[in-house]
Structure 1
Amino acid sequence: MGVSGCGKSLTGTLLASELGVPFYDADDYHSRANVEKMAAGIPLTDADRLGWLDDLAKLMRREEGGLVLACSALKRAYRERLRNGNPQACFVYLKGDFETIWARHSRRTDHYFNGRAMLESQFQLLEEPGADEKAVVVDVSGTPEQVIGHCLARLGYDRHL
């Protein structure tokens, strides 16, 4: 979980490979209306996200052997909605400062998420996971290999599965 550009898709793909479980990108489950809205630089509302989050929670329940899902899950309420029926779900919060994320984000050419203002809105919306949530925090300033190593360590996995 984390803001756009923090490395959810890359990290998720690598983590799923290490764990031997399927990877899914929540962006692939947005409605056409949501994608069009974001491409126009309009941030999504909570109402825009409800059906999307419910679809993702269902996907999580279907994958009984586990999965890695790259999803922004910026608010506690979103994480609670994802956890609905999925009490074992653990969140990996990919944390980075605005300038680091913006530098990465601004190099993207093939993504519908559009603009600095949209990223600023995500940082404003972000509710970092609380101590009472089942979540681990991983700094994204390192290389992808370092980030994956930290993810696995914080999740309690040996690197050589």
Structure 2
Amino acid sequence: MIKKIIVLGVSGSGKSSIGQRLAEQLGYPFFDGDDYHCDANVKKMATGTPLNDEDRMGWLATLNQLLQDTDKAVIACSGLKPEYRTILRNGVDQLAMVYLKGDIETIWQRHQKRDGHYFKGRGMLESQFATLIEPTSDEAIIVDIDQEVDAVVNEALQQLKQ
């Protein structure tokens, strides 16, 4: 069985909620990648300014180290580009990625229902979609999020077990 899982997707795709549910089902610890951003990144996003590649490098290295230092883990992380996912995978065995695929309108509707999150504005979501290079089925398990949360979790679990 896979011991480490990264739940990928743009902000609002359900990475945290799906990741937590997967972790519960598997008995693994859950880590929200958002909790590992440096203060400068959080401040930047809170003002509606998208992160760039340079902003993300230290954060991705921190998440990679977390994966290397834990026996089992589920981590929520956007992982928008192949080079980001390469950093996350570096030196990590028994790793699977689950990509939560959704369209901008569905995800924007979810964003508008969120309270207290530092990720602000449609412009930032559009920036994530512009940056996103979706993983292929060779790189990640792809799950359509246009279904109930239980169905997303069950589909991901079924594919992880295969």
Task: Quote the offset at 1:87 in angstroms.
Answer: 3.9
CA-to-aligned-CA distance 1:21-69 (integer Å, 9 cap, x gap): 00000000000000000000000010001111000000001112x2100
Match of 1:61, as an amino acid? Q
Identity score, percent: 54
SS in 2 for 1:146: helix
Matched, 1:127 2:133: yes
Partner of 1:7: 14
Partner of 1:91: 97
Match of 2:39, as an amino acid? R
Partner of 2:142: 137
Among residues 29, 39, 43, which one is paired with 1:32 in the alignment? 39
In the alignment, the residues of structure 2 paired with residue 81 and residue 88 of structure 1 have an alpha-carbon distance, to the nearest angstrom, of: 15
SS in 1 for 2:143: strand
In the alignment, the residues of structure 1 paired with residue 153 and residue 147 of structure 2 have an alpha-carbon distance, to the nearest angstrom, of: 10
- Deviating 4+ runs (over 6 angstroms): none
Partner of 1:115: 121
Equivalent residues in 2 for 1:60-75, closer than 5 Å:
60-64=67-71, 66-75=72-81
CA-to-aligned-CA distance 1:112-147 (integer Å, 9 cap, x gap): 0000000000011111112442x1000111111111
> For this pair of structures, how many residues does the alignment match?
155
Match of 1:19, as an amino acid? L
In the alignment, the residues of structure 2 paired with residue 20 and residue 87 of structure 1 have an alpha-carbon distance, to the nearest angstrom, of: 18
Match of 2:73, as an amino acid? L
Partner of 1:155: 160
Question: Which is richer in strand?
Answer: 2
Task: Quote the offset at 1:90 in angstroms.
Answer: 1.0
Q: Residues 14 and 131 from structure 1, CA distance in 2 versus in 1: closer, same or farther, beyond 3 angstroms?
A: closer
Q: Bigger CA drift: 122-131 or 27-36?
A: 122-131
Partner of 1:56: 63
Aligned-pair RMSD on alpha carbons? Answer: 1.0
SS in 1 for 2:141: strand
SS in 2 for 1:118: helix
Structure 1, unpaired ranges of 5+: none
